[in-house]
Amino acid sequence: MAENKKTVQLPHNIIMENRRKLNLTGVSDIDSFDEETVIVFTEQGELTIRGSNLHINKIDVEAGELDLEGAINSLSYTDNKPHKGGMLSRFFS
């Protein structure tokens, strides 16, 4: 018998402090990151964070949390949904 898996939709919130610290909730996966661009998947779509000297301080995909800091210049969404098997799943498979 096939098991029905229900996905829990995580609430998505953004808290930015002085364009230097960013706390995100509702993160389902990370697509890519470097010092200038961080791309994450949320239930609201793909979020691209651009800036300089960006550093991820904490990532907990199970809880859907991401904390980063650096000089944050922009946040932009696209409607792309997460691909099955994102970057973190490739590391831990």
The pLDDT assigned to 47 comes to 96
List of domains in the chain: 13-91 (2.60.40.2000)
The pLDDT assigned to 79 comes to 82
Cα separation of 30 and 77, whole Å?
A: 14
| Runs of H (alpha helix) within 1-93 | 87-91
The pLDDT assigned to 93 comes to 47
Q: Beta strands of 1-93 (E only): which ranges?
A: 13-17, 21-25, 27-33, 37-42, 45-60, 65-78
**Its pTM surpasses 0.85:** no
pLDDT one digit per residue (tens) for the chain, 93 residues: 455 555 567 789 999 999 999 999 999 999 999 999 999 999 899 999 999 999 999 999 889 999 999 999 999 999 866 555 555 554 554
